Structure 1
Amino acid sequence: MSLGEVTSLGGIIIKLIKSIFVFALLASPIIVEFHLFYFSCLHFLGIDYHGYLEPSFSGHMYSSFLFSFEKLFEKSSVLIDILTMLVIGAILYISFYYTKSKKFPRVIVGILINNSILYVSLALLLFLFSKQITHNTSITYIYNLLLILTLGIIALAGFLIYKKKHKRNTKPEKFTAAVKKTQESEFVFKTNSGDIHLKNPYRGIFIQGGAGSGKSVSLFEPIIKQIGKAGFTGILYDFKSPELTNKLKISYQKSNVKVYNIDFKHPYLSQRANPIDPKYLIKSAVAIEYAQVLINNLIPETIKKNDFWTNNAKMILAGVIWYLRNEYPEKCTIPHTISLILHNSVNELIEKVSQDYEAGGMVASLRESIERGSEKTVAGMLSTLQNALSILNSQDIFWILSGNDVDLHLNNPENPSMLCLGNDSTLPGVYSPIISLITAVSLKQMNRPNQEKSIILLDEAPTIFIPNIEQIPATARSNRIATVFGVQDMSQLIDKYGKDKSEVIISNLGNQFFGRTTNTKTGEMIQHVFSKTDKVFVSKSEGSGTNGKFIHLGSNMNEGFSENVQERDRVKVRDLINLSSGEFYGIIAEGTPREFLKVQFEKGEIDEIYIDQRIPINDVIMKDNYFRIIKECKDIFLHTKQKDYSVN
C-alpha cells in the first residue's frame, strides 16, 4: 500500500469519526426527548416501569440512565406529565416546520439541526435568566419561569399548526373605499368585504340560488327595504305567499305608494282585479295575446310548440273575450269567459260570438267545421280548450277575478301602486296562469314613457310563464322599469322558457348574482360567465452530488426554479356546490365593484311582523258570486233567443 493511499484512508477515517461525533451530538437531544416523552406517558397512564431496573436488564450505564428518568417522574403530577408530552411534541413540530426540505432523508437532518439549535437557544436563555437569580429567589419563581417557557413553546407550535391549516383560506378581498349612495334608485348590499353599489337597477337583476342559499335574506329583502324607501311602484310575485308580501307591506308603511294584494293562497282576504277589463283591450290583437298567455300556462307544452288544436283553442278564447268586450263590457271578465265556454252548447256559443264580425273571424275555423259536420274536429278543438279552462273553474278564482279593486296601470303618476301577487306553493299550476296574465297585462300598461319608477320583482320566476319577458329588461329600462328575476336553478329556467330564450333573459339582465347550486351543469354555466385567468406556477427542482471513493461523506446541493403561465378557471364548480348560505359570486353592470367572487352577504332581514287587519269574506259570498256569474252567462243566450224571436 502506497503512502498516498494510506493518507487518503486516514483522512476518510477521520471524516467518518467526525461525522459520527456530529450525528451523536445532534441526536442526543432527540434521544433525551424520546425518553422524557416515553416516561411521562407511562407515568400518566399509571404503568409500572420498574422492570427496566432489574439486574437482568442489559447495560449498566443505560440502566442508570433510565433510573434517572424514573426518579425525575416518580413524584411528578399529572399536569407535569401532560406539559412534558405537549412541549416535546411542540419542539419536534417546530423543528420539522422550519426544515427547508421535507423529503427523506434531508428532513431527518433538518429536524436534528433545528432541534439542536432550539435547545441551544433555550439553554442560552436560561443561562441569561440564571444570572438574575439570587439566593433570595424563591423556587416558585424558577418554576414560573420554566412554565412560561413551556407554554410559550406549546403556543408557538399551535400557532404554526393553525397557520398551516388556514394557509389557503385567505381573508376576503376588501372592496374599494366606501362611496355614498348617489341616487334614489341605487341599491346597496352589505357584505363582509364592504358595500356593493348597484347604481342602475333598470339594467336588470338576475338572482340564482338553490334552496337554502340565502336569496331572500341576502338580496330580495334588502331590495324590498330599499324600494319601499325610494317609492318604487310595480309588481311583487310571491311564490310562497305571504312571506315577501308581508315584508313589502312593512317597508311601504310610510310610503305614498298604495300596496294591493291579490292573494290566491288566502282568497278570503284578497283584493280583486280584472285583467281583461275593456280599458286594457284596446285592439283585438291584445285579446289574442292575452289568450296566448292563458293557453301557454294552462298547456305548458304549447310554449315550445303550437299545434292545430291549441292554436284554435287560443283563437276561440280570444274570440269570446273580444265578443264580451264589444257586446257586454260590464261582463268582460275571465270568470264570464270561462262560464260561456264551459256551460253552454258549442253551436249557440259560436253563433253568438259570430254576430261580432271581428270576434267571428277568430272562431271561423270552428264555425266552418260545425257547418261541414266535422264532429271530431269540433270536439277536438273544444275539448282542448274546455279541459284547460276547467282548471280555473273554481269559486275562489271567480271571486278574485270578477272585481276591479286594482288599476293595473301601476306606475301611473296619478295613482302610484305596488301590487303583490301571491301564489299557493302547494298548487302552483292552478294559479300560475292567472298570475301570469295579470303580470303580462300590468307590464303592457306600465311600459310607457313618463311614468313613475317601477320594478318587477319575481321570486321563483320560472313558476310562471310571461311571453316576451326576455325583451322586457332590454326595452323597459328606458321607461325606468327594473326587472329582478329570481331562479333556484338554470335547469328550471330552461325547462320553462327553452334554451334560447333562457340565454336571452340572462344576457339582458346586466347585474347577476350566483349562489349555491348542486347542479353541475348550472355550475359549468356560471363557470363560463367568469371565464379563465392566467396563473403563474413556480416549480422547484433540487439536486445533490457526493464525493469520496469508498464512503460518500461530503455532499453538495443545488436548487432551481422555473415559472410557467397556464389558464385556469376563476370559479370552480366545486366552489359553487360548497357555498354557504349568503355567499354569492356576481357581476355589476354599473356600480362598484364590477365583479366579486365568493362574498358573504350580510342578512338584510325585515324583522317586524305584519298583522293583516282586513276582515275576510265568507263562503256564502264567494259561492253566491260563482253562481251569479254562471246565471249571467246563461242569460246572455236567453236574451239572444228572445231578441231573435221578437224580430221574426
Structure 2
Amino acid sequence: MQTGENDQAMRKILDMTRLISIVVLGLHFYEVCYGAFAEWHLTAPLSDRLLANIVWTGLFSNFYKAKLIALAFLAIALIGVKGKKDEKQNFRTAFIYLLSGLLFFFISFLVLLVRGKMTVLAGLYMGVTGLGYLLFLSGGTMLSRIIRDKLSGDIFNRDNETFPQEERLLENEFSVNLPTRYWLKGKLRNGWLNIISPQRSTAVIGSPGAGKSYFLIRHFITQHIRKGFSMLVFDFKMPDLSVIAYNTWLKYKGNYKVEPKFYAIDFDNLACSNRCNPLEPSVMLDITDAVESARTILLGLNREWVKKQGDFFVESPINFLTAIIWFLKRYKGGEFCTLPHVIELMQADYDQLFTVLRTEQEIDVLINPFVSAYLRDAVEQLEGQIASAKITMSRIASPQLYYILSGNEFTLDINNPDAPKIVCMGNNPQKIQIYGAVLSLFVNRLLKIINQKNKLKCSLIMDEYPTLVADMIPTIATGRSNLISTCLGIQDASQLRKEYGREAADVIMNIVGNMVVGQVAGDTAKLVSEKIGRIMQDRESLSINRTDTSISKSKQLEAAVPASRISALSSGEFVGLVADTPDQKIELKSFHCEIINDHEALKKEADGYLPLPEIRTINPGIVQRNYLQIKQDVQEIIHEVMEQLLNDPSRVHLVIRKA
C-alpha cells in the first residue's frame, strides 16, 4: 500500500543516490585534474588530506573506476524515477540520448592525451564528461516518461477478436473438409473447416468476388463426387462449374457401386445439351404436381408475383395453366405432356380451348370460372385472368427451348440407386428471367422426386440460388433424413428477400445448419455477427493527469467478429458456423479463417480439363422441324377431340360455339 510517507522516503533515497554519483564524479575530476585545480587556487590542505585518504580506498586505482561507480549510482537513481508521462516520448529518442551520453562520458579521456595548456584541457575534459553525464541523465528521465502500454498498437483490435478454432481434421462419408489458416493472439495457425453434416444444409454467402465458387462450391462438387454422391449442379455461368463436375465424374465414376450417368442441360449449346421433359407424366402422380409446376413456371417468369401469391390475378393464371398441364397429362397417357405443347395449346382460340379442356372432368372445377366468364361476355375479366398467363408463357416459346424440353433422354430421379445421375443445368446471366423460369421448373420437379426414403445420397449445388424460384425450405427441413445435402450460393440476404420475400428469406437464413460467409455488408453482416456470438475480450484505458498516469484493464463480452470486420473480409477469407452430429461433436463451431487453395495445382488441373462432350450434331433445320411438329401436334389434338365430341351425342353439349 502506497502512502505519502513512502513516496517521500523513496524520493529522499533517490536524491541521496544521485548526490553520491555527483560527489564521486567530482572527486574523479579533482584527482585527475589536480594540476588545473591548483592553478585555479581551488586546493586546500584539508581537501588534499581527504583525497589522500580516498586514494587509499582504491577508488582511483583505475582511471575508469570512479566514473563507472558514478554512472552506476546515476543508473540506480534513474530506475526509481517516475517522470510525468508524455505520449510524444519514444524509446528511439531516449536511447539516442543514452548512447550519446555514454559516448561522450567515456571518450572524454582523449582530451587529456592532447598537448596543451593544463587548465584548458581540464576544462574541456570536465565539460565533455559532464555533457555525457547530463545526456545520460536526460535519456534515463525520458525512459521514465514513456507510456509503455501502447494502446494504439492494435488500432483495429484484431488480436482481441481472435479465438480458438478447430484444428482437427474430422471426416466422414458425407463431409467436406477444407484446410484453413487463422490468427490467434498474433500467431498464424493452421486449422480445418469441417462441414461434417452437409445434410443440415449449407449457405455460402458473399458479395461478387468473395470467392464462393473458387474456395467453396467447387470443393463441394469434387469431394462429394469422390465420395459417391449423386448430384444436381445449378451452374449460373455455364459451363464453369459443369466442367469441374464433368471432369471429376470422369475421374471418380469407378468409385460408385452403380456407375452414374452424366447429363447437362444448356439452352445456349444444343449440341452439348441433353433433352429432358420436366413435365414427365410418369412422375406427375396427381393434380397437385401440376399445380406446383404451373406455379413455379409463372412465378419464375413474373418474379414480382412471388410476393403477391393469393391475389386473384395471380392465382387465376396458375389455375388456367394447371388445367392445361393436367389435360395433357391425361390425354393419351401423357404422350404430349411437355411444356412446349402446353404453351402451344394455351394459344388456341377460346372456343376450341375451352371445349377441349371441358372433356377432362378433374379440371372442370379449375376451368369453370373461365368458361363462365367467356359465356357471359366478361371479356375484360377473362383477359385479365388468361392473357397474363399467355403473354408470360410466350416468352419461352422459342425453337431452342422447345427442342430441349420436348425430349426425354433422362429422368429427374438423380438419386435412384439403380441409375444414379450427375446433372448440370446451366443458366445464362444475359437471359436470367427466361432460362431461370424453366430451370426453376426442373429444380422443383427434381426436389419433389428425390426427397424419398431408401435413395442414394444426393448433393444439390445451387450457385446463385436467388435467380431460381425453387422452394428449398421443405428439402432443407426434411431432406436430412433422406441423405440430401444442399449448398446454396447467395450474394446477400437482401437479394434473397428481394426474390422470395422477407418471410421465406428469413426462414432459409435461419434453418441452414452450416453458414459460410465471405465479404458482405449491412443487415447480413449484422445477422452473421450475432449468430457467431460474443467472446471475452481485454479492454484497457489510459488516464494521464499532471502528476500521475493510470492504466486500467478489464474484460468484456464483445462480438467475436463484428459486422465491420465482415464487411472488410478479403477474397478467400470467411466467417461462420458449422453444425456437428451426435457421433462427431465439434466444440469450436465458429470460425474466422482463410481457406487455403493450392492455386498452382488448381490452375494446372483446370488446364487439363476436358470440355463438355458433344452429344449430337445439331443444325437449325432439326430444331425448326421439332418446333413445327409441336405446333402440328397441338392442332391434331384439338381436331381429334373436337371430332370425337361432335360424333358423340352424349357429349356434344360440351362443344362451345359462341357467335
Residues 340 and 186 of structure 1, relative CA distance in 2, 3 Å threshold: same
Q: How does 1:134-213 map to 2 (within 5 A)?
A: 170=159, 175-179=165-169, 181=171, 183-192=172-181, 193-213=190-210
What's the CA shift for 1:534? 4.1
Instruction: Determine the C-alpha separation between the residues in 2 that align with 1:102 and 1:439.
Output: 72
What's the CA shift for 1:565? 4.3
Aligned to 2:579: 589
Instruction: Determine the C-alpha separation between the residues in 1 that align with 2:554 and 2:351.
Output: 80
RMSD: 3.3
* Counterpart contact for 1:294–1:433, Cα < 8 Å: yes
Q: Count residues in correspondence.
A: 508
Aligned to 2:597: 603
1:448 is matched by which residue type in structure 2? Q
Instruction: Determine the C-alpha separation between the residues in 1 that align with 2:350 and 2:87.
Output: 94
Instruction: Determine the C-alpha separation between the residues in 2 that align with 1:466 and 1:600.
Output: 31
Instruction: Determine the C-alpha separation between the residues in 2 that align with 1:392 and 1:314.
Output: 16
Which deviations, in whole Å up to 9, do the C-alpha atoms of 1:216-241 show, x marking residues without a partner? 11101111110110111131100100
What's the CA shift for 1:305? 1.2
Which deviations, in whole Å up to 9, do the C-alpha atoms of 1:444-465 show, x marking residues without a partner? 1100111000011100000011
What's the CA shift for 1:298? 1.6
* Counterpart contact for 1:235–1:419, Cα < 8 Å: yes
* Counterpart contact for 1:197–1:592, Cα < 8 Å: no
Aligned to 2:493: 490
Q: Which secondary structure does the structure 2 equivalent of 1:451 belong to?
A: coil
Instruction: Determine the C-alpha separation between the residues in 1 that align with 2:87 and 2:208.
Output: 52
Instruction: Determine the C-alpha separation between the residues in 2 that align with 1:165 and 1:476.
Output: 46
Identity percentage over the alignment?
Answer: 25
Which deviations, in whole Å up to 9, do the C-alpha atoms of 1:335-386 show, x marking residues without a partner? 00100012x1012111111111002222111011112221111222221111
1:403 aligns with 2:393: no
What's the CA shift for 1:508? 1.5
Q: Which secondary structure does the structure 1 equivalent of 2:273 belong to?
A: coil
Q: How does 1:73-472 map to 2 (within 5 A)?
A: 103-104=85-86, 107=89, 114-119=95-100, 170=159, 175-179=165-169, 181=171, 183-192=172-181, 193-253=190-250, 254-255=252-253, 256-306=259-309, 307-328=311-332, 329-342=334-347, 344-467=348-471, 469-472=472-475
Q: Which secondary structure does the structure 2 equivalent of 1:213 belong to?
A: coil
Which deviations, in whole Å up to 9, do the C-alpha atoms of 1:292-348 show, x marking residues without a partner? 111211222221113212211111111111111111311011000100012x10121
Q: Which secondary structure does the structure 2 equivalent of 1:427 belong to?
A: helix
Structure 2 length as normaliser, TM-score?
Answer: 0.71
1:460 is matched by which residue type in structure 2? E
Instruction: Determine the C-alpha separation between the residues in 2 that align with 1:647 and 1:588.
Output: 66
Which deviations, in whole Å up to 9, do the C-alpha atoms of 1:496-543 show, x marking residues without a partner? 1111111111121100001012x3232222222223344342334455
Q: Structure 2: which 5+ residue stretches go unaligned?
A: 1-14, 26-80, 109-149, 182-189, 254-258, 650-659
Moved more, 564-573 or 306-315: 564-573
Structure 1 length as normaliser, TM-score?
Answer: 0.72
1:624 aligns with 2:628: no
Aligned to 2:560: 570
What's the CA shift for 1:115? 3.5
* Counterpart contact for 1:539–1:561, Cα < 8 Å: yes
What's the CA shift for 1:639? 1.6
Aligned to 1:510: 513
* Counterpart contact for 2:246–2:612, Cα < 8 Å: no
Instruction: Determine the C-alpha separation between the residues in 2 that align with 1:535 and 1:165.
Output: 13
Which deviations, in whole Å up to 9, do the C-alpha atoms of 1:87-133 show, x marking residues without a partner? xxxxxxxxxxxx9989449938x877643443467799999xxxxxx
* Counterpart contact for 1:312–1:365, Cα < 8 Å: no
Residues 602 and 593 of structure 1, relative CA distance in 2, 3 Å threshold: farther
Residues 111 and 251 of structure 1, relative CA distance in 2, 3 Å threshold: closer
Instruction: Determine the C-alpha separation between the residues in 2 that align with 1:571 and 1:173.
Output: 10
Aligned to 1:524: 526
Residues 170 and 559 of structure 1, relative CA distance in 2, 3 Å threshold: closer
Instruction: Determine the C-alpha separation between the residues in 2 that align with 1:429 and 1:308.
Output: 23
Moved more, 435-444 or 612-621: 612-621
1:383 is matched by which residue type in structure 2? A
* Counterpart contact for 1:101–1:107, Cα < 8 Å: no
Instruction: Determine the C-alpha separation between the residues in 1 that align with 2:395 and 2:156.
Output: 59
Residues 476 and 101 of structure 1, relative CA distance in 2, 3 Å threshold: farther
1:118 is matched by which residue type in structure 2? L
* Counterpart contact for 2:532–2:560, Cα < 8 Å: yes
2:594 is matched by which residue type in structure 1? Q
Instruction: Determine the C-alpha separation between the residues in 2 that align with 1:235 and 1:186.
Output: 17
Instruction: Determine the C-alpha separation between the residues in 2 that align with 1:633 and 1:275.
Output: 18
Q: Structure 1: which 5+ residue stretches go unaligned?
A: 1-14, 26-98, 128-160, 546-557
What's the CA shift for 1:394? 0.6
Instruction: Determine the C-alpha separation between the residues in 1 that align with 2:337 and 2:618.
Output: 23
* Counterpart contact for 2:575–2:593, Cα < 8 Å: yes
Instruction: Determine the C-alpha separation between the residues in 2 that align with 1:179 and 1:113.
Output: 50
Instruction: Determine the C-alpha separation between the residues in 1 that align with 2:227 and 2:266.
Output: 25
Instruction: Determine the C-alpha separation between the residues in 1 that align with 2:216 and 2:413.
Output: 27
Instruction: Determine the C-alpha separation between the residues in 2 that align with 1:475 and 1:419.
Output: 22
1:612 is matched by which residue type in structure 2? L
Residues 117 and 397 of structure 1, relative CA distance in 2, 3 Å threshold: same
Q: Which secondary structure does the structure 2 equivalent of 1:317 belong to?
A: helix
Which deviations, in whole Å up to 9, do the C-alpha atoms of 1:538-559 show, x marking residues without a partner? 33445565xxxxxxxxxxxx55
2:192 is matched by which residue type in structure 1? D
* Counterpart contact for 2:515–2:576, Cα < 8 Å: yes
